[in-house]
Amino acid sequence: MDQSQFVKEVRQELTDNILRFWADNMVDPQGGFYGKRCSDGSLEAGSEKGLILNARILWTFSSAYRILKDAEYLALADRARDEIVNRFIDRTFGGAYWSLDAAGNPLSTKKQYYAIAFAVYGLAEHFRATGSRISLDAAISLFQSIEEHSFDGEKNGYIEASERDWGPIEDMRLSEKDRNDAKTMNSHLHILEGYTALLRVWKDEHLRGQLHNLLNIFLEIITGADGHLQLFFDENWTRQGDVQSFGHDIEASWLMMEAAQVLEDPVLMEKTKTVCNKIAAAAMEGLMPDGGLSYEREGDRIDSDRHWWVQAECVVGCWNQWQLTGDEIWKERSEHAWKFIKKYIIREQGEWWWRYPQHPEDDLAGFWKCPYHNGRMCMELLERNDNPIK
């Protein structure tokens, strides 16, 4: 595929489909954004509103405004920022709630650090796009909460969750399908992502040191000898289970490089590049002949459903590998993944299906189904086309 055509297509997908869907269908007149639309597009009244979804909406429209300068995107970014600052932030204990009810009142008040990291990510991008000190101050405060209550100064890394008052919590799981383990790859990856975004706009030395430490955790502990990320650990960093997530592998392969680039450490960048090459190659074990990337593998069992977010990360991760290595096979894989998305994942009436094959119980938009993976894919391609070497 001609590169200019590829970029033209993803720009149109971003503006005419993804952002348009969320602007037209997810704004709640009572404040913030609706909690859920079902796979048929119908609104599920009374759905809880998750911090993860709202933080991802904030990041997406902030980034879209920064890149495309459309005032509508700014208004939606501001709306998402206000929802987080005014409703999700816990004014009593600090941090941010896991969820609100449909009316905007605190529902689940636990402190899940994965979700708080996404709030840091969104708020930092809003500051980057707008210069709003309210957003930067909120991002810094949440960063400090993570460092004070989640960072394990004795054994390193970050624990998963706490009660509202920061006390120990029995069930630390991010979702029902996850293990109840003290430390996970997934939370560390998105803390790394949030810290990278914050360091880009706030050159704080403590933050820099913690991001450097996080990246080394990935390089030295989380990345296995086979190149796959290890997903679950106890508090002592003993691996639990044997699941391999192809989507997280390919996503981490470019997020880790981005962190190294923002840290501006040449030695660390070279070490990270070597490891990320290995991670990206391991992710391709899940590549299907049709260009889609399988979900995960556990033992000998492969879940070959092609989830929307995995395909989006495959496009970006493979493009990143092409930029890093110059090997055309990675560019071809990125383009092939985009062709798969166009054929099987993009929904004709707007947004993307959760996965292929489709499942009627999947959300079209909801607690986990968001505009961040697919919107970010498009914006990464736009920015990488303008600046071939990031």
Find the Cα–Cα–Cα–Cα dihedral 39, 43, 49, 54, rounded to 10°. Answer: 70
Residues of the chain short of pLDDT 70, as ranges, are: 387-390
Comparing CA positions, the residue from 212, 251, 248, 256 lying closest to residue 229 is 248
pLDDT of residue 178: 85
- Where does 3-386 sit in CATH, by number? 1.50.10.10
Vertex 309 angle, CA 147 and 113, to 5°: 15
| Whole-number pLDDT of residue 60 | 98
Q: Which helix (H) or strand (E) holds 279?
A: helix 266-283
Structure confidence at residue 351 (pLDDT): 98
Question: Residues 72-101, buried b or exposed e (16+ Cβ, 10 A)?
Answer: ebbebbbbbbebbbebbbeeeebbbbbbbe
- Report the pLDDT value the prediction gives residue 115, as an integer from 0 to 100: 98
Burial class (CB in 10 A: 0-12, 13-18, 19+), 245: buried
Q: Is 152 exposed, middle or buried (0-12, 13-18, 19+ CB in 10 A)?
A: middle
Can you spell out the DSSP letters for 194-214? HHHHHHHH---HHHHHHHHHH
Domain range list for the chain: 3-386
Would you say 377 and 337 are in contact if contact means Cβ atoms under 8 Å apart? Answer: no
**Alpha-carbon span 73 to 281, nearest angstrom:** 36
